[in-house]
Structure 1
Amino acid sequence: MTLATPPDTLPRKRHRATPKRPDPGPAVTPPLATTPSDPDFRSLDRALRATAARLTQGLSPSVIMEAWTDWVVHLSASPGRRLGWTLSVADAAGRLAVWLADTAAGGKPAPLIEPSAGDHRFTDPVWHQWPHVAVAQAYLLGEKLLVDIARRVPGVARQHENELAFLFTQWVDILSPTNLPWVNPVIMGRTLQEGGMNLVRGGLNWLEDAGRLARGAPPVGTEEFQVGRDVAVTPGTVIHRNRLMEVIQYAPTTPTVHAEPILIVPAWIMKYYILDLRPENSLVRWLVDQGHTVFMVSWKNPVADDRDLSLDDYRRLGVMAALDAVSAAVPGRRIHACGYCLGGTILSIAAATMARDGDDRLASLSLLAAQTDFAEAGELMLFLDERQISLLDDLMWRQGYLSGAQMSGAFQLLRPNDLIWSRVIRDYLLGDREPMTDLMAWNADSTRMPARMHGEYLRSLFLENRLTAGRFAVDGRVIALRDLKVPIFALGTVRDHVAPWRSVYKISLFSDTDVTFTLVSGGHNVGIVNPPALQRGSYQLMTRHPDQRYVDPDTWAAQAPHHAGSWWPAWEEWLCGTGARAKTAPPALSTGLAAAPGSYVHQG
């Protein structure tokens, strides 16, 4: 195993009596030792836990029970908290009664409570009419009170408070009046208007979706966006392939190009072509048209036989092999490396290793919605502890991987109203189909995660945060982000539930070089795919130099200037300003192994 435990946690000699420091353990739990007289029943245990994990969608029941028990025990011993919450309920009920009376009498009092930012369930004007507005107000008050009782109970662990608040929110979302056809005025109005035909269409939509799910077929409409025909069509060739990835070199479109090429390392949790959708919104095509030589990593979609691929394999066979391929195609040139999401994390690890070992091939480092510190990784951390990861290990042990459907289910729970219930209402109760888009089709083209790599990733980064704690070792030696001396461009998105922008921002805290941070409007995907021609969105940008004091993220957001439009031109200008300004003839584009988009992107 190349990804090693740091030297300070290596086993000590037997004759030393000094107590050992707590060891976070290896990234993958080693198999239990057995003897002929001591049969290994671990496989039976893991099979049973894997079955339970499939039934619970990978959520550990013990995590929920511990949080629930902690809350019940301390709430029962806190009569003051119960009394205070009861008085809050009584006060809310009284205010609601007065408000209802005023509204019923024809008055127009201000709402008692407004939906939280990003809650679009009650935006339809009919929800502001009597009596539907009363239902909405009563629900929103009840939602706030129920989530409030999960918090501020003396003695309950903060982690358990957050877990229960999250679960209470999930339960309340299920009972939202917008989800009940006999309460939702939008659904009732459509049903009366169409004589129930919307429900007939919705039932047919559900049958079609259920059939596709049973067959493992993609959602309706994805056939309109075929890879290599409609999306991922920027001309190029595959110049390198190994068991983990392909490297695509894109054909130039300008008579001269910038001397230093760009290598993009996308996340392996999804297919690479989010950065090369249709020509009009392809980041790759746009960069090529600006005169850049662009290379792209296209990851293999792992299968059960790839279960033993490690996190360090993604560094060696992924990032480092891609850098070698680019260096061979454009010899003697430094490289602008760009990583998106998980690709940015592994690129940071590779770059820090290169800095430690004196490898100076990088001209700059761009991290798009990519985390290097995981202390504030958002709601994904709520249920992530050793028990949860062990359950996922058992699930992946049986399959050899974590499937795309299992991962997407976890992400959907972070935004259930937007990603689950709004679709249920639109597709099955209103009988409408949202038109498929290229981004939606890409999102449905999910990939798998190898068992070993995913376990190592969750333990060493999410759970133990080794990279910024000075305990992440490569080839037996610790690496440090402070060794990076190349300029860094880090980007976060305002509404990111996968890589919260304040977490992405922390690269500025752990690095000792110029860091240009950009905060863009939108979410994890839409914020990235924002071509200048659309003239939408906005961004903030500001650079911190090594000799300047650290600025916390909220202060940064208050100080950084705002700019309208796409962040792409600002990034491209930054790339041109950080490297060699010379231009040269385009490098030769050989026939390679295959034409872009290659073969790995087609793997289902």
Structure 2
Amino acid sequence: MGQTAESLAALSANLTQAMTRANTAISTAFVEQSKEAAHWQPDPLGMQVALNDVWSHLASQPETLREAHANLWQRYADIWQKHAAYMLTGAAPDEGPIRDKRFKDPEWRSNPAFSMLRESYLATAEFITDLVNRTDGVDEATKRKATFYIKQAVDAASPSNFLMTNPAALRAMFQTGGESLLKGVENLAEDLKRGKGNLAISQTDINAYRVGENVATTPGKVVFRNRVFELLQYNPTTEKVHEVPLLIFPPWINKFYILDLQPKNSMIKWLTDKGHTVFLVSWVNPAADMAEVGFEDYLREGIYEAVEAVTKAAGVDRMNTVGYCVGGTLLAAGLAHMAKKNDKRIQSATFFASQADFKLAGELLVFSDEQGIKFLEDKMDQAGGVLDAQTMADTFNSLRSNDLVWNYVVDNYYIGKQPPPFDLLYWNADQTRMPKALHLFYLRAFYRDNALTEGKLKLLGETLSLKDVTIPIFMQSSKEDHIAPAASVYRSALSFGGPVEYIIAGSGHIAGVINHPAANKYQYWTNANLKGALEDWQAFAVEHPGSWWPHWDQWLSKISGPDVDARRPGDGELQPLGDAPGEYVKVRSSAS
């Protein structure tokens, strides 16, 4: 009993101390945020307006409401009946495998109280989201915004996100005598400090990696530099290489080394091992002095100057190209412009999770109406003319809040864990800034207006059409991509004027692309007949196990010419300016 009393006393003392520290940390954060009180807006994205529109239309659908409520109460009755029997007999119902990672702790099933709480929450969550989806008479954009907001609210309300209703967090608290909460508050305070009053959640140990030391380590040289990018040329690993080199345009929203994390998962190393001469654009991490640098500047100084630099460095007049995500959008626009100019130096293009047609661009459309764009414009003005890295990180995290937000709230702040080293999440935290002019043009011209595929986009004096692009195209999409949905990439594939090979890979926006063959993970689907809707394509698609990289390499190698002696950086007209990964990639944003 004495030991129990001492344990309870220690627990009480630690809880009191944790509450005091938490109040201090949150109060400090509030003071930091109050410095920008003039910029606060109660509903900058118009979420409440969208919800009010949905609720008002739903009120005129009494049959939908009655049916939904009847189904909910029937589910509640089934849940209560099942758990009453569970508590009487002690026999847990067989529910099959765990599919929701929020409830992976065994006690969500083995404890009747937690099991009932879990199932009641899931039933209620489905009821609320289904009501929004079934509402008639609401325009697509409004319903999309309301659905996004409801999902955020429903996910936040999960019992797994609260200390007193999370069995793993409660168990840690009692087992450690409250020490877990003390450590959690220290983690919270550190994240608030790093985010300067905003909660910049740690997803990995950011001190475990150094760019150029244990990530982004494939050997090469910087062979060209201007104000928007450095061009990397990687050392060959074979005696012979394909005649036609490969030029890669990654997204400027993130840093390029997602393609070169570590040797075991590096696409760059894999490509050099396959005999490709690889050039890669490393975009600058812009500061406020680049606020007015726009999309045309990135086209002129990014696409055109990179192509010119490769011709000099490799001594060629043609090349294959790759565009990833927004880098692919820029490349698509560049190809359409080059077609107008009869510039044939790019002989093929591969797109990783890239969109040219944005009609079905997914949840990010929520942020690209006039309210969303104005909100981001104000944020950029406050930051001196750039979109700060934390805003971008918060946006992407919100698209997968259960995995990228609430999971870490529980582990870091309730259980007091330190997130382990993970190269991909280190890269994810190493966000970049974006120039105001560039980002506003991108949102308005592509997400809002879908101008490229509708023939309304004018760049560098030319009105562009993707139907003018007749070179071979390879388009990769991912089945679970929430940023560039497979249906959106498919529509983009149909927009070009020449031969297109389209595939769907397993997993999402990152893992669907970065899937080294040695990992033996996931699968991909192919179908040479690119006609009709995506559902038609999928109905006759053939599934293949493992990575899609070898399939792509077969396509790429056939159009890459005969073998020639390996090229090393400096063999051509451009002399090395420094070692890969260069200097631009090492510039960290203050929020990362």
Please say whether Structure 1 and Structure 2 have the same fold, judged by a TM-score greater than 0.5.
Answer: yes
Distance 1:400 1:114 in 2: 49
Which residue number in structure 2 is paired with residue 437 of structure 1? 422
Which residue number in structure 1 is paired with residue 334 of structure 2? 350
Distance 1:458 1:212 in 2: 28
Using the TM superposition, give the Cα deviation of residue 315 of structure 1 relative to its aligned residue in structure 2, in angstroms: 0.9
Q: C-alpha offsets along residues 286-339 of structure 1, whole Å, 9 cap, x if unaligned?
A: 111222111010111111111111111111100111000001112234201001
* Paired amino acid for 2:396: F
Corresponding position: 1:568 with 2:568:
no
CA separation of 1:188/1:258 partners in 2, compared to 1, >3 Å: closer, same or farther? same
Q: C-alpha offsets along residues 520-572 of structure 1, whole Å, 9 cap, x if unaligned?
A: 1222122222222222222223334xxxx614222323322222222222222
Structure 1 segments unaligned to the other structure (5+ residues): 1-49
Using the TM superposition, give the Cα deviation of residue 125 of structure 1 relative to its aligned residue in structure 2, in angstroms: 2.5
Corresponding position: 1:556 with 2:540:
no
Using the TM superposition, give the Cα deviation of residue 227 of structure 1 relative to its aligned residue in structure 2, in angstroms: 1.1
Using the TM superposition, give the Cα deviation of residue 81 of structure 1 relative to its aligned residue in structure 2, in angstroms: 4.0
State, as a whole percentage, how many aligned pairs show the same letter: 36
Corresponding position: 1:193 with 2:175:
yes
CA contact (8 A) 2:392 2:431 kept: no
* Paired amino acid for 1:280: K
CA contact (8 A) 1:102 1:109 kept: no
CA contact (8 A) 1:402 1:449 kept: yes
- Choose which of 536, 555, 563 in structure 2 pairs with 1:582: 563
Which residue number in structure 2 is paired with residue 93 of structure 1? 76
Distance 1:500 1:275 in 2: 20
Corresponding position: 1:183 with 2:183:
no
TM-score (norm 2): 0.86
Distance 2:39 2:350 in 1: 37
Q: C-alpha offsets along residues 363-397 of structure 1, whole Å, 9 cap, x if unaligned?
A: 21000011111000111112421222123223323
Using the TM superposition, give the Cα deviation of residue 420 of structure 1 relative to its aligned residue in structure 2, in angstroms: 0.5
CA contact (8 A) 2:245 2:320 kept: yes
CA contact (8 A) 1:60 1:387 kept: yes
Using the TM superposition, give the Cα deviation of residue 514 of structure 1 relative to its aligned residue in structure 2, in angstroms: 2.0
Which residue number in structure 2 is paired with residue 169 of structure 1? 151
- Choose which of 53, 73, 79 in structure 2 pairs with 1:70: 53
Distance 2:38 2:511 in 1: 32
Which residue number in structure 2 is paired with residue 508 of structure 1? 493
- Choose which of 118, 128, 147 in structure 2 pairs with 1:146: 128
The SS at the match of 1:506 is helix
Which residue number in structure 2 is paired with residue 7 of structure 1? none
* Paired amino acid for 2:336: A
Using the TM superposition, give the Cα deviation of residue 516 of structure 1 relative to its aligned residue in structure 2, in angstroms: 1.6
Q: C-alpha offsets along residues 118-146 of structure 1, whole Å, 9 cap, x if unaligned?
A: x3212332212223211111111111112
The SS at the match of 1:182 is helix
Which residue number in structure 1 is paired with residue 114 of structure 2? 132
Using the TM superposition, give the Cα deviation of residue 77 of structure 1 relative to its aligned residue in structure 2, in angstroms: 4.2
Q: C-alpha offsets along residues 478-502 of structure 1, whole Å, 9 cap, x if unaligned?
A: 2111122221111112221111122
Which residue number in structure 2 is paired with residue 448 of structure 1? 433
TM-score (norm 1): 0.85
Distance 1:532 1:167 in 2: 38
Using the TM superposition, give the Cα deviation of residue 468 of structure 1 relative to its aligned residue in structure 2, in angstroms: 0.7
The SS at the match of 1:247 is strand
Which residue number in structure 2 is paired with residue 282 of structure 1? 266
* Paired amino acid for 2:168: V
CA contact (8 A) 2:173 2:181 kept: yes
CA contact (8 A) 1:225 1:231 kept: yes
Using the TM superposition, give the Cα deviation of residue 587 of structure 1 relative to its aligned residue in structure 2, in angstroms: 5.1
CA RMSD, aligned part only? 2.5
CA contact (8 A) 2:321 2:349 kept: yes
**Count of matched residue positions in the alignment of Structure 1 and Structure 2:** 546
CA contact (8 A) 1:53 1:60 kept: no
Q: C-alpha offsets along residues 203-240 of structure 1, whole Å, 9 cap, x if unaligned?
A: 23223333333399995622221111111222221111
CA contact (8 A) 2:393 2:429 kept: no
* Paired amino acid for 2:248: I
- Choose which of 469, 476, 484 in structure 1 pairs with 2:461: 476
The SS at the match of 2:528 is strand
CA contact (8 A) 2:72 2:123 kept: no
Distance 1:181 1:551 in 2: 50
Which residue number in structure 2 is paired with residue 330 of structure 1? 314
The SS at the match of 1:589 is coil
- Choose which of 297, 313, 321 in structure 1 pairs with 2:305: 321
* Paired amino acid for 2:391: Q
Corresponding position: 1:120 with 2:101:
yes
Corresponding position: 1:102 with 2:85:
yes
* Paired amino acid for 1:576: S
- Choose which of 138, 151, 160 in structure 1 pairs with 2:142: 160
1:199-214 alignment, distance < 5 Å: 199-214=181-196
Distance 1:445 1:386 in 2: 29
Corresponding position: 1:517 with 2:498:
no
Distance 1:522 1:80 in 2: 38
- Structure 1 residues 120-129 or 372-381, which shifts more? 120-129
